[in-house]
């Protein structure tokens, strides 16, 4: 089984064996990070250290390769990855995982954008706020901290506001996240009717409701080990307006229990929300898009098929260009 992402990261930090470190993460050539807030972000927290992008090296490998962790994010950004050949008009805002402590920016971020753009889907990679870790349980997750959800709401609104400029259909904007990012998918799927912050410009007048949602090995959804119930901060806000959702998790996931997906699936189903769930016996946690011997890592094809079934993309759409709304 793959090493749990955060456990491996802690080992690497403790051993001081990070192979490379830069002051802050930068996208690869040809892409530019854009700040999502015009000024100071709401509910800003003091961060003791500057943002750092650190590569794990040989101590933590996924499918035989290292990955990059971004920590101490206090200035959230989005990076737009546009399709180069075909354009379906669909867009996905991607939330990397990392326990609301770090962001697995390539494993669960840029590599996802490469896949999505190859399918004619615009990818918006959100580097949401993950300040220094706190000891409180679930710190960083809503409602203990509103920052990540504020960043997610703001970004979906920005994408919809710029839809024509970025050649996106404003009715085909979804979210996709891993682990803590999967929890963020559920949080924005439930909390879209009202922003957590005071509107700052016209983009905040746009809806921040995703048109579809993909949560991969999500966490923070099953909190009470004595009760088989969804986190009440999500459960009490699920309605028929919650977007169609795709869930995937492994039964041997020892970081985020398979019950996280199960309780969310049941709540969505009871609310009449279209939901598709895939559970696998093996595969562990934090594999991103990297193929291993486990069948679960073929999940991108499942998502592509699901997007077709809910009308977000189609084979005919993939063959023609979309130049506007």
pLDDT at 60: 86
CA 176 to chain centre: 5
Q: What pLDDT is stored for residue 115 in this prediction?
A: 98
Is residue 148 within a helix (H) or strand (E), and if so which, with residue range?
helix 147-161
Each of the 325 residues of the chain gets a pLDDT tens digit; together they read: 333 444 444 434 333 444 455 678 999 888 989 999 999 999 998 888 999 999 988 888 998 899 999 999 999 999 999 998 899 999 999 999 999 999 999 999 999 999 999 999 999 999 999 986 676 667 788 888 999 999 999 999 999 999 999 999 999 999 999 999 999 999 999 999 999 999 999 999 999 999 999 999 999 999 888 899 999 999 999 999 999 999 999 999 999 999 999 999 999 999 999 999 999 999 999 999 999 999 999 999 999 999 999 999 986 544 444 444 4
- Report all structural domains of the chain as residue ranges with CATH numbers, in order of start: 35-48+69-319 (3.40.50.1820)
Q: Are strands 212-216 and 245-250 parallel, antiparallel or unpaired?
A: parallel
267 burial class (0-12, 13-18, 19+ CB within 10 angstroms)? buried
* β-sheet bridge partners, residue 215: 177, 247
Backbone dihedral region for residue 314 (phi beyond 0: left; psi -120 to 50: alpha; all else: beta)? beta
Q: What pLDDT does 324 receive?
A: 46
DSSP bridge partners of 91: 122, 173
Task: Compute the distance between CA of residue 323 and CA of residue 255 in angstroms, rounded to an integer.
Answer: 42
Q: Torsions phi, psi of 104, nearest 5?
A: -80, 80
CB 234 within 8 A of CB 187: yes
Q: In what order do the strands lie in the sheet with 102-104?
A: 20-22, 52-55, 68-71, 102-104
Answer whether 128's CB lies under 8 Å from 154's CB. Answer: no
- Per-residue burial over 253-263, b if 16 or more Cβ lie within 10 Å, else e, is bebbbbbbbbb
- Residues 140, 126: Cα–Cα separation, whole Å: 16
Distance CA 212, CA 201 (A): 25
**3-state percent breakdown (helix, strand, coil) of the chain, nearest 5:** 30, 20, 55
pLDDT at 46: 85
């Amino acid at each position: 089984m793959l090493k749990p992402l955060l456990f491996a990261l802690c080992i690497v930090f403790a051993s001081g064996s990070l192979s490379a470190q830069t002051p802050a993460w930068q996208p690869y050539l040809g892409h530019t990070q854009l700040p999502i807030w015009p000024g100071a972000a709401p509910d800003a927290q003091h961060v003791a250290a500057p943002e750092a992008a650190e590569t794990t090296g040989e101590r933590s490998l996924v499918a035989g390769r290292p990955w990059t962790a971004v920590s101490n994010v206090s200035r959230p950004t989005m990076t737009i990855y546009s399709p180069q050949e075909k354009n379906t008009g669909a867009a996905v805002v991607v939330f990397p995982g990392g326990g609301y402590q770090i962001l697995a920016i390539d494993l669960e971020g840029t590599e996802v954008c490469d896949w999505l753009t190859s399918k004619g889907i615009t990818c918006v990679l959100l580097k949401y706020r993950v300040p220094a870790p706190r000891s409180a349980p679930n710190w960083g997750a809503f409602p203990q901290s509103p920052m990540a959800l504020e960043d997610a709401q703001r970004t979906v609104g920005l994408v919809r506001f710029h839809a024509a400029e970025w050649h996106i259909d404003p009715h085909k904007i979804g979210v996709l996240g891993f682990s803590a990012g999967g929890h963020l998918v559920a949080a924005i799927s439930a909390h879209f009717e009202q922003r957590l912050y005071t509107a700052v410009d016209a983009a905040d007048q746009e809806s921040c409701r995703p048109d579809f949602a993909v949560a991969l090995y999500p966490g923070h959804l099953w909190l009470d080990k004595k009760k088989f119930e969804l986190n009440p901060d999500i459960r009490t806000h699920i309605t028929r307006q919650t977007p169609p959702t795709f869930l995937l998790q492994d039964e041997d996931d020892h970081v985020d229990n398979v019950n996280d997906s199960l309780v969310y699936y049941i709540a969505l189903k009871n609310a009449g929300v279209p939901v598709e769930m895939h559970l696998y016996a093996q595969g562990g946690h934090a594999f991103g898009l990297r193929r291993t011997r486990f069948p679960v890592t073929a999940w991108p094809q499942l998502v592509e098929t699901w997007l077709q079934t809910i009308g977000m993309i189609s084979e005919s759409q993939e063959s023609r260009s979309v130049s506007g709304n």
